[in-house]
Amino acid sequence: MSLSSYVLLVILGSGLVTWLSRVVPFVLLKEFKLPAIVVNFLGFVPICIMSALWMESLFIQHLGQLPSLNVPNILASVPTLISAVISKNLLVIVIVGVISLAVINVLG
């Protein structure tokens, strides 16, 4: 399988655009100081993203129908949420979530 110059340019261009979109904000924010209200607002972004990803994993989409519940993910969420409240440590939360889902998949 040969790699044409067009495909190579598309891959390199996509990599460059991806890299620039991640680096340019850091370079710009290094030069400017954001107002405290903006920094405070941006502090909620990771929580919102993680909540959206978690809620999405609790449902299974069906074309033209209402979504159904993803029972294994809901069951694995219980010990994961408990570990989150107790530890407030992301590593512990991820490990408990992965182990919980693995145990549920083995038993189920």
pLDDT for 9-21, tens place per residue?
Answer: 999 999 999 999 9
Residue 1 has pLDDT above 70, yes or no: no
The single-letter code of the amino acid at 92 is V
Model pTM above 0.75:
no
The secondary structure of 56-105 as a DSSP string is HHTEE--TTS--EE-HHHHHHHHHHHHHHHHH--HHHHHHHHHHHHHHHH
pLDDT tens digits, 42-100? 899 988 998 999 999 999 999 999 999 999 999 999 999 999 999 999 899 999 999 99
